[in-house]
Amino acid sequence: MQRLEEFRKHYPPERWMIREGSWDPGLQKVRETQFAQGNGRFCCRGVLEEIPYDSTPGTFIAGLYDRTGAQITEIVNCPNPINLRIDAYGEKLGLISMDHLHHERVLDLRHGVLSRQTVFRTTHKKCILYQSRRFVSMHNRRLGVMEVRVTPLDAAMTLNVQTTIDTSVSNKGVLTEGRKIHFMPHEVGQGDNISYLCVRTLESGTFVAYATSLEICRGERCKTVSERALRLRVHKGETITFRKFFTIHTSRSAKPHQLKRETIGDLRRARRRGLKRLFEDHAKAWDRLWGEANVEIEGDHAADQALCFNIYHLIIAGNAEDDVSIGARTLSGEAYRGHIFWDAELFVTPFFMYAFPETARAQLMYRCRRLDAARAIAASKDYRGALFPWESADTGEECTPSWARDFDGTIIRITTLDYEHHIVADIAFAVDHYCRATGDWSFMMRCGLELIFETARFWASRVTLNRKRNRYEIHDAMGPDEFHERVSNSAFTNTMARWNLQAACDRAREALARAPVKTKALMRRLGLTEREIRSWHRIASRIHVPGNARRKLIEQFDGYFRLRDPRITQLDEHFMPVLPASADYRTISKTQLIKQADVVMLLFLFPNRYSAEEKRRNYYYYERRTLHKSSLSPAIHSAVGLEVGDDDKAVHYLAHALSTDLSNIHGNAAEGVHAASAGGTWQAVIMGFAGMRIHPDHISFSPRLPPGWRALKFAVRFMGAKLRVSITHRKTSILVERPAARGRVFASVYGAKKQLKKHAYVDFHPSLSRRGGKSARARRSS
Ligand code: BGC
């Protein structure tokens, strides 16, 4: 039909498009996650505007949590502004309530626009064309716009139209809690064709205000209406257009008594600007974002498009302005109650460090502002320094629920909060990484140093001296592999602790040299002496990490090698390991089967600490025992696999990570995008396939492109400069697109170092014998 074709002119080129070509009720909730739109401040799930009875609308505001009725505080599902109910002859236009002849939806990743075309057919066999487009503005981060066009194709008809700010939404929660509403209406008003709604969260008492207005157009004639329930006669072939603008403000950004004025004022300005220009502002903002973050994989369309999808979801989660970080499922769903884990610092923040350093800084500031809360947790457990919570929300207190349902449905006690202390060092690691990548010394002096000191202090109080063996040990710990709780000397935990203690010594020395007055003042404030700092070095150098030196194997924890070792023999439909028949989840801790990258994560984080042989042996040992029951695992296996020459698996693991949410691989994409997996895909491509590493005086690459990839192109920020990198099988070219304030930038490719130029590519032609890809392949076949 011509009208369908005309509408498709809005669609982006194939690369930027995620398409739903037909209606599958079973996929409804997954699509709501995939099609989520946001701007870091708030996010709306990709619901169908008619809100079918089993859809799960979600409007989440970054950092807005409430506990009422829940076991533990959770992200608030706020009233839903995205809804439009149309009835024709008393029948609701909807994919469940009415027949349809055609249905498609397209998410434009380039500009964050969700478009839809459905041809409905009433029981009297009259067809109606329904088309919609909507966006959550990236320019004005408190604004959303929805446009719906309805055309009766066979006969004139009377339509009843309704749209509201739907307060009937709730947090789904868990079975035992039932549905919860975390807010109550505070004020409702109408005037100047604007509807106003203000709700207040029950426990935290935050006001959330909405202003909306509805415009109706017939041809060129548009008018704003005040009624929310309309009755309209529409001719055959005539198109009637509804435009809904909404603004959302909270009392965190405006004083409660000004909230109404600001929310309505913002809406008025938006209405005056009009849809066309609002969209232009929004699209320009997106163009700027992609100018920093776009990664192109030429020659592998599926990987290229899937990476684009993952980066889109990272971008819509990023927020440089508020005191927030990114939850395990972004703002696209309710899983993990919007809580923030180590996923943020080790998986997601690196993307922002290299694409949007100011957003990475804000994410780390979120932790800095919660240092006092972390100190209180440490003190409550008789430790010193700062112990960050395993799950964090608004206040920085521990938010891990004490029980949950396991993979097989049984109720289990959650012990991560008691033992998974590696998060402390993970956060310090991210602070240090951020400073190395950006050279942002002001952040280090503002709070980074304090965080690194206080986390080191924690470890110094967390270790136990084993006098007989003259070494420090850490008992009752849990590494990333959560199948083994409460172990002694988790290699991951101990290595991270060791790094944290040593980094604190190194950074103290550096800070005392660079800013002695400020550093000494900080030390005085913390009651920190040079003697204490020296003790950190002593502890770090004697922290025990278990292993078998002869076999060059790191032992995941004391006694791991003695556990039963069932073989993984079967793969599932996604080619991922199946739990062997001889094992079950209740007794899995008695086996060497592991949930996710643990020792392999160490190989990833410390690429220079281990020899090539150590990496190879450990990767193969643990890869064969990993069930990848966490979405954090595959991307890391891709990057490390590539380094040790497991090229085919590296490509396979990348493909798997890329489709985590696109193909709903873990079966729970309905509850939100897996943020760590999305961040992991970026890291696998940039740190794995492009082989990017940073050094104090330069940035290096050792690309290993799979045969099918023609080119890999991206931009990264390094030490304040913006570099553009283009990698093919024959050469790597790097350009300084925006210079750093300070000095020259050097880069090396396979070890050959050159100074980069502004606005002119410097080419690096690798000698084939030095290429990782080739030697890796040679190693594998030998
Ligand atoms: C993983 C953790 C992760 C959490 C949130 C768990 O299943 O084991 O490593 O932090 O999910 O994504």
Q: What is the pLDDT of residues 505-530, one digit of tens each?
A: 999 999 999 999 999 999 999 999 99
- Count of CB atoms situated within 10 Å of the CB of 6: 10
**What is the 8-class DSSP label of residue 13?**
P
Which pLDDT score, from 0 to 100, does residue 767 have?
Answer: 55
How far, in Å, is the centroid of ligand 1 from the Cα of 390?
10
Cα(53)–Cα(85) distance, rounded to whole angstroms?
12
Q: Confidence class of residue 781 from pLDDT cuts 50, 70 and 90?
A: very low
Structural contact between residues 112 and 278, judged by C-beta atoms closer than 8 angstroms: no
Angle, to 10 degrees, between the axis of helix 449-462 and the axis of helix 516-526?
40
477 forms beta bridges with 487
Cα(133)–Cα(115) distance, rounded to whole angstroms?
4
Q: Confidence class of residue 175 from pLDDT cuts 50, 70 and 90?
A: confident
- Mean of all residue pLDDT scores within the chain: 95
- Contact residues for 113 (Cβ-Cβ < 8 A; gap 6+): 10, 107, 133, 134, 135
Which pLDDT score, from 0 to 100, does residue 640 have?
Answer: 98
Which pLDDT score, from 0 to 100, does residue 778 have?
Answer: 31
Cα(272)–Cα(419) distance, rounded to whole angstroms?
55
Cα(538)–Cα(556) distance, rounded to whole angstroms?
23
Q: Confidence class of residue 673 from pLDDT cuts 50, 70 and 90?
A: very high
Closest CA to 20 of 48, 59, 57: 48
Q: Which atom of ligand 1 has the smallest separation from the CA of 595?
A: 8
Which pLDDT score, from 0 to 100, does residue 769 have?
Answer: 39
The 10s digit of each residue's pLDDT in 618-653 is 999 999 999 999 999 999 999 999 999 999 999 999
Structural contact between residues 297 and 303, judged by C-beta atoms closer than 8 angstroms: yes
Cα(774)–Cα(401) distance, rounded to whole angstroms?
48
Length of the chain: 782
The 10s digit of each residue's pLDDT in 584-616 is 998 999 999 999 999 999 999 999 999 999 999
Which pLDDT score, from 0 to 100, does residue 255 have?
Answer: 85
User: Does the structure show a pLDDT above 70 at 772?
Assistant: no
Transcribe 306-319 into DSSP letters: HHHHHHHHHHHH--
What's the mean pLDDT in 230-242? 96
The 10s digit of each residue's pLDDT in 542-587 is 999 999 989 999 999 999 999 999 999 999 988 899 999 999 998 9
723 forms beta bridges with 716, 736
User: Does the structure show a pLDDT above 90 at 173?
Assistant: no
Cα(681)–Cα(243) distance, rounded to whole angstroms?
37
Structural contact between residues 343 and 350, judged by C-beta atoms closer than 8 angstroms: no
Q: Confidence class of residue 226 from pLDDT cuts 50, 70 and 90?
A: confident
347 in ligand 1 pocket by Cβ < 6 Å?
Answer: no
User: Does the structure show a pLDDT above 70 at 777?
Assistant: no
Which pLDDT score, from 0 to 100, does residue 407 have?
Answer: 67
Q: Confidence class of residue 89 from pLDDT cuts 50, 70 and 90?
A: confident
How far, in Å, is the centroid of ligand 1 from the Cα of 631?
8
User: Does the structure show a pLDDT above 60 at 770?
Assistant: no
- Of 67-81, 216-230, 265-279, 362-376, the one with minimum mean pLDDT is 216-230
Which pLDDT score, from 0 to 100, does residue 768 have?
Answer: 43
Q: Which atom of ligand 1 has the smallest separation from the CA of 630?
A: 7
Q: Which one-letter amino acid corresponds to residue 409?
A: G
Q: Which atom of ligand 1 has the smallest separation from the CA of 343?
A: 10
| Inter-residue long-range contacts of 217-221, CB under 8 Å, 24+ positions, other chains counted | 217/241, 217/243
- Count of CB atoms situated within 10 Å of the CB of 90: 9
User: Does the structure show a pLDDT above 80 at 773?
Assistant: no
Task: Examine the residue annotation and report whether 482 is marked as an active-site residue of this protein.
Answer: yes
- Count of CB atoms situated within 10 Å of the CB of 643: 24
User: Does the structure show a pLDDT above 90 at 196?
Assistant: yes
Structural contact between residues 207 and 256, judged by C-beta atoms closer than 8 angstroms: yes
User: CB-side exposure of 207: number of CA atoms within 13 Å?
Assistant: 20
How far, in Å, is the centroid of ligand 1 from the Cα of 29?
21
User: Does the structure show a pLDDT above 90 at 113?
Assistant: yes
- For a ligand 1 pocket test, name from 407, 594, 632 the mutation site with the most ligand atoms within 8 angstroms of its C-beta: 632
How far, in Å, is the centroid of ligand 1 from the Cα of 114?
30
Closest CA to 492 of 590, 632, 292: 632
Closest CA to 117 of 136, 90, 93: 93
Closest residue (by CA) to atom 12 of ligand 1? 328
482 in ligand 1 pocket by Cβ < 6 Å?
Answer: yes
β strands within 235-308, DSSP E: 240-250, 295-298
Q: Confidence class of residue 741 from pLDDT cuts 50, 70 and 90?
A: confident
Closest residue (by CA) to atom 7 of ligand 1? 630
Q: Burial, 735: exposed, middle or buried (Cβ in 10 Å; 0-12, 13-18, 19+)?
A: middle
Q: Which atom of ligand 1 has the smallest separation from the CA of 480?
A: 9
Catalytic residue among 20, 482, 532, 623, which?
Answer: 482
- For a ligand 1 pocket test, name from 330, 334, 341, 490 the mutation site with the most ligand atoms within 8 angstroms of its C-beta: 341
215 forms beta bridges with 224, 243
Q: Which atom of ligand 1 has the smallest separation from the CA of 328?
A: 12
Cα(210)–Cα(591) distance, rounded to whole angstroms?
53
How far, in Å, is the centroid of ligand 1 from the Cα of 561?
24
Query: Which tokens sit at 404?
Result: 């949950």
| Inter-residue long-range contacts of 737-744, CB under 8 Å, 24+ positions, other chains counted | 740/439, 742/439
341 in ligand 1 pocket by Cβ < 6 Å?
Answer: yes
Q: Confidence class of residue 539 from pLDDT cuts 50, 70 and 90?
A: very high
User: Does the structure show a pLDDT above 90 at 372?
Assistant: yes
Residue 35 C-alpha from the chain's centroid: 15
Cα(613)–Cα(309) distance, rounded to whole angstroms?
36
